[in-house]
Amino acid sequence: MNQIPVTLESRTGTFRPPTLQTLPVGVAANMAMIRARTRSTIMAVVKADGYGHGAVTVAEAALAAGAGWLGTTSLEEATALRAAGLAAPILTWLNPAGIDAEQAAANRVDVAVGSVDELGSLLAQSAPTVRIHLYADTGMSRGGCPRSQWDELIALARRGQRARTVRVAGVMGHLSLADHADPVANAAGVADMREAVRAVRAAGLGSPLAHLAATSGTLTDPATHFGMVRIGAGLVGIDPSETVEMHGASRLTAPVVHTAAVKAGTPVGYGGTYVTERATHLSVLPVGYADGIPRERSPQAGVEIGGRRFPVVGRVSMDQIVVDTGDEAVPVGTSATVFGPDGGATPTIQDWARWAGTIPHTIVTGIGSRVKRSTA
Ligand SMILES: *Cc1c(COP(=O)(O)O)cnc(C)c1O
């Protein structure tokens, strides 16, 4: 078996290491597309480190392009945004009962409350007034207060607001068909949301900011927009409804660390699952499944080198992949693009998702921690 000697790092240290570069211009272009489709306030959802693109980088780009709010799924993420100097209103959801009310109030973080227990735990703490968004289950059965407990939640919120322990600043829901362009299927969630808002108003809690839609609803169904829409995937170039082509907001590059000319019949990688059909050149890139390259992928998977697409061949290893570059002997140190926004020979995150039988979200959130981060 032909053995490819592999150097993971250049001995000279001159290679640009594997890098995930975030492109704020992509976020800005996506914000412009979103703003063309809604007049509602836009919340930039930057959970999971801004879908792998860097929460602060994405947040700053989105705010500069007109977002009014930020959203996270934990108080810690929200506090980190404050620590980075971001002043916009922030909402956090997926809060367990027992969330630190004092920390929320001190950092001016609004807290979504999806159950009587969660609200009870906030009310039990003696903290400055915490702003809350009552979170109704609008068909997801994953988060939010079920209809059967909604009146009890509102009654408790009213008591808390009178005592100035909480202030009801919003009402939210979430659509279960987040990956469909289907207004008919959304209609039940929209009706649930309207009823939830009506009940809050009827309880004398004013007219809090109402928000239901994520990227898909925003792009495909104006009836879901209410006062604010919550955009995560769309910021980084993913339209879950697959109806709008958005702009990629990141580029993953890796240097060629080894190139070899091999004969026809050379097995490549673990198990020799790929055997060269003819004399060719193989190049090694120092990224593998530990860096987020999907181990399971179709034979179409490829990378861009020098403006051409070349196939990834053999098994994806933990730390490296092999590319068949045919007649090209690619010089060591040449930068390969695993994915990027450019189109043409450069694969997109949508290409990788298709090759791996997954959704682009898992590609961008799966890039490993040892891949260097940068911002264009
Ligand atoms: C993640 C999330 C969003 C954003 O969804 P996208 O489809 O990524 O835009 C909105 N709302 C809630 C409750 C979420 O958890």
Domain 24-236, classified CATH 3.30.9.10, yes or no:
no
Residue 147 Cα to ligand 1 middle (Å): 21
Does the fold of domain 24-236 match that of domain 7-19+249-375? no
C-alpha to C-alpha distances, 200 to 152, 186, 216, nearest whole angstrom: 11, 21, 26
User: What tokens appear for 201 in the block?
Assistant: 């108003």
Ligand 1 contacts (CB < 6 A) are: 45, 47, 93, 174, 178, 214-216, 230-234, 240
pLDDT at 168 over 70: yes
Q: Which atom of ligand 1 is nearest to the CA of 143?
A: 13
pLDDT tens-digit series, residues 309-362: 999 999 999 999 999 999 999 999 999 999 999 989 999 999 999 999 999 999
Q: Which atom of ligand 1 is nearest to the CA of 215?
A: 9
pLDDT at 4 over 70: no
Nearest CA, atom 13, ligand 1: 174
Rounded distance, CA 313 to CA 285, Å?
12
Q: Are 75 and 100 in contact (CB under 8 A)?
A: yes
Residue 62 Cα to ligand 1 middle (Å): 15
**Residue 7 — pLDDT band, cuts 50, 70, 90?**
very low
Residue 318 assigned to a binding site: yes
User: What tokens appear for 278 in the block?
Assistant: 């003819």
Q: Domain ranges for the chain, please list them.
A: 7-19+249-375, 24-236
Share above pLDDT 90 across residues of the chain, in percent, rounded to a whole number: 88
The reported pLDDT for the residue numbered 143 is: 81
23-37, 42-56, 127-141: least confident range: 127-141
Which residue's entry shows tokens 């699952």? Answer: 273
Active-site option among 47, 51, 274, 289: 47
Residue 312 Cα to ligand 1 middle (Å): 33
CATH of domain 7-19+249-375: 2.40.37.10
- Provide the residue count of the chain: 376
Nearest CA, atom 15, ligand 1: 73
pLDDT tens-digit series, residues 77-129: 999 999 999 999 999 999 888 899 999 999 999 999 999 999 999 999 988 99
Residue 230 Cα to ligand 1 middle (Å): 6
Q: Are 375 and 24 in contact (CB under 8 A)?
A: yes
Output phi, psi for 278, to 5 deg: -150, 170
Q: Is 178 helix (H, G, I), strand (E, B) or coil?
A: coil
Best residue for ligand 1 mutational test, from 41, 42, 45 (most atoms within 8 Å of Cβ): 45
pLDDT at 181 over 50: yes
Q: Which of 67, 68, 90 is nearest to 80 (CA)?
A: 90
Helix axis angle, 183-202 relative to 147-162, nearest 10°?
40
Residue 138 Cα to ligand 1 middle (Å): 14
Best residue for ligand 1 mutational test, from 230, 231, 242, 365 (most atoms within 8 Å of Cβ): 230
**Residue 14 — pLDDT band, cuts 50, 70, 90?**
low
Active-site option among 51, 135, 263, 270: 270
Pairing of strands 308-313, 321-326: antiparallel
270 catalytic, yes or no?
yes
**Residue 142 — pLDDT band, cuts 50, 70, 90?**
confident
pLDDT tens-digit series, residues 253-280: 999 999 999 999 999 988 888 999 999 9
Residue 214 Cα to ligand 1 middle (Å): 5
Residue 142 assigned to a binding site: yes
Q: What is the sign of the dihedral through the CA atoms of 292, 295, 301 and 303?
A: positive
Q: Which atom of ligand 1 is nearest to the CA of 216?
A: 7
CA 183 to the chain's CA centroid: 24
